[in-house]
Structure 1
């Protein structure tokens, strides 16, 4: 039997399954909307997951140049971090090329290479999830003091940034709005699609750092929902609910209020706006309905709740902003 670290991870969740369990009412089963437009009740293990979603693909010199071009727009310390990760992945790619050219067939080498390609990005996300466990547990219990610890705060902001950028919803819509009006734009768009497994992690790193660096300018608030309407979540659990965000098309907003439901009762929000005060906020039913509506509108397929009644009123919003975008690019 191979060591555990050599076991290939095939099922890649782009929304953390253990996060979704908070909508399971003590079980692993949640209510969610399906691709067919129905409502199902099943295990979190079977939703927001795709086989080999984060699997590494071989990068050509052109792919690498496109990655570097996007990375250079980042602060220098993040650019250097991106390049360090990229070198690690390219070393694995070079090792595989050397092995293939040798014409040697070695089962053990094959197992190591396949595990590396399938598991490395998935393992990085798992490491972020692990650091978020105690923070999410504390926040679900309305304990904001957990984020007074600098290390906990930076880890949680990185986790939030990655959860925003790692989803299939974010990938599909980011690629959809890329312009393809010239040969160069087509080549860049194709390279972006091919290298998305790396770029999405890079973007998540950037967003997480930005959220942490701006923590003293933004308002970080816990939203407490004691109304009869519970919070729902979705296949894009971190969403921008700022009033400047279009509800009918996928486009780049000027401001961000990043909203992240933690349970049917508690949510976390990072605000550019002054809508909520720093710390705990008791919110009314109208606000819950608004936030749930925006959560559903920015979902691609799945909204998730603890009861069928919790998601039924918001089912009509699912994918609404992307339906218009699919008829043409939202960004020039």
Structure 2
């Protein structure tokens, strides 16, 4: 019998555990409640049934197909259409069993229960699968190794993971939920379409990087300062695309962070020891691009960071 995971993480717990202290606590600042507190990784960066699917109406299907049609090639568009069909399958099955006269009452109730679970768990299981596939690359990155990237399978797993982690968060969901939309009057609910949208955007990003995979390089930033790297509920952030391509920043643990960027002249891996000013630059960027939660292994340092209003940080 299938089981439910009600508290669904939008940031990987195995990643967050790097910010735990000796008592397995992570210090979290909840921005909407202006509250700083110690907490276990199981209870942060999560929301009740965060990945629950929704049955899309005609306007919502039309909107998703409009996004699909923007993809760069037909193969990618076909992939997106299959993704849409996959995550709407539970509703087609539900409609089918409702009209299946040959089903017994017990059979109908059993299948209905399993479809309810699938509706709540399909997205959660999908992201769990992606995380499992990225375990090797994340562990290697924490050792300042990029050798995994030369392996086609492991390198592709990493690119898929980093793209999904960028788009799977509540910050990106909130950016998609706009008050006014040309199709709003027709019943379009962007909250319902968000999960499918996140898959489309993540795969577009993934394919964009894969096309130039050999040109993307890793730069490891070592932090020997007294203050740590921060992370947040938006742990992968963009430092802005230049003429070369995407520039992604990803803190890996309190004393190590990584840049993943297109650099035609660099080696696959480079390393750099950073000073306090550069550390503060990256931490301010994490604060600026966070949604609601900041995480750190030091309560004192987190208090210093949050003493500056976020809207001031935004202007830096």
How would you bin the TM-score normalised by the shorter chain? 0.7 to 0.9
* In structure 1, C-alpha distance between the alignment counterparts of 2:186 and 2:160, rounded to whole Å: 27
TM-score, length of structure 1 as denominator length:
0.83
Q: What does residue 155 of structure 1 align with?
A: 157
Of 14, 18, 22, which residue of structure 2 is paired with 1:18? 14
Of 30, 34, 37, which residue of structure 2 is paired with 1:37? 34
CA displacement at 1:64 relative to structure 2: 1.4
| Residues 1-332 of structure 1 aligned to structure 2 (within 5 Å) | 2=1, 6-25=2-21, 28-34=24-30, 35-74=32-71, 75-102=73-100, 105=105, 106-176=108-178, 179-180=180-181, 184-187=182-185, 190-242=188-240, 256-272=246-262, 279-282=269-272, 283-316=274-307, 320=311
Across the aligned residues of Structure 1 and Structure 2, the Cα RMSD in angstroms comes to: 2.9
* In structure 1, C-alpha distance between the alignment counterparts of 2:252 and 2:233, rounded to whole Å: 14
Cα distance change, pair 262–63 in 1 and its aligned pair in 2 (3 A): same
Cα distance change, pair 318–108 in 1 and its aligned pair in 2 (3 A): farther
The answer as to whether partners of 1:303 and 1:315 remain within 8 angstroms in 2 is no
* In structure 1, C-alpha distance between the alignment counterparts of 2:307 and 2:188, rounded to whole Å: 33
The answer as to whether partners of 2:244 and 2:262 remain within 8 angstroms in 1 is no
Q: Which region of structure 1 is more displaced relative to structure 2, 214-223 or 72-81?
A: 214-223
Cα distance change, pair 187–19 in 1 and its aligned pair in 2 (3 A): farther
Cα distance change, pair 315–213 in 1 and its aligned pair in 2 (3 A): farther
Deviations 1:127-179 (A, max 9, x none): 11001112111111111212221211111011011001000111112324x75
* In structure 2, C-alpha distance between the alignment counterparts of 1:61 and 1:150, rounded to whole Å: 39
* In structure 1, C-alpha distance between the alignment counterparts of 2:160 and 2:312, rounded to whole Å: 26
Gaps of 5+ in 1: 245-252, 325-332
Q: Which region of structure 1 is more displaced relative to structure 2, 230-239 or 19-28?
A: 19-28
* In structure 2, C-alpha distance between the alignment counterparts of 1:208 and 1:286, rounded to whole Å: 32
Cα distance change, pair 309–280 in 1 and its aligned pair in 2 (3 A): farther
Gaps of 5+ in 2: none
* In structure 2, C-alpha distance between the alignment counterparts of 1:49 and 1:287, rounded to whole Å: 30
* In structure 1, C-alpha distance between the alignment counterparts of 2:146 and 2:56, rounded to whole Å: 42
Cα distance change, pair 318–165 in 1 and its aligned pair in 2 (3 A): farther
* In structure 1, C-alpha distance between the alignment counterparts of 2:171 and 2:77, rounded to whole Å: 25
CA displacement at 1:55 relative to structure 2: 0.7
TM-score, length of structure 2 as denominator length:
0.87
Which runs of 4 or more aligned residues in structure 1 lie more than 6 Å from their structure 2 counterparts after TM superposition?
Answer: 321-324
SS of residue paired to 2:248: strand
Deviations 1:197-239 (A, max 9, x none): 2111221122222223233344432222222221110010011
* In structure 2, C-alpha distance between the alignment counterparts of 1:260 and 1:123, rounded to whole Å: 23
Q: How many residues align?
A: 308
* In structure 2, C-alpha distance between the alignment counterparts of 1:322 and 1:64, rounded to whole Å: 38
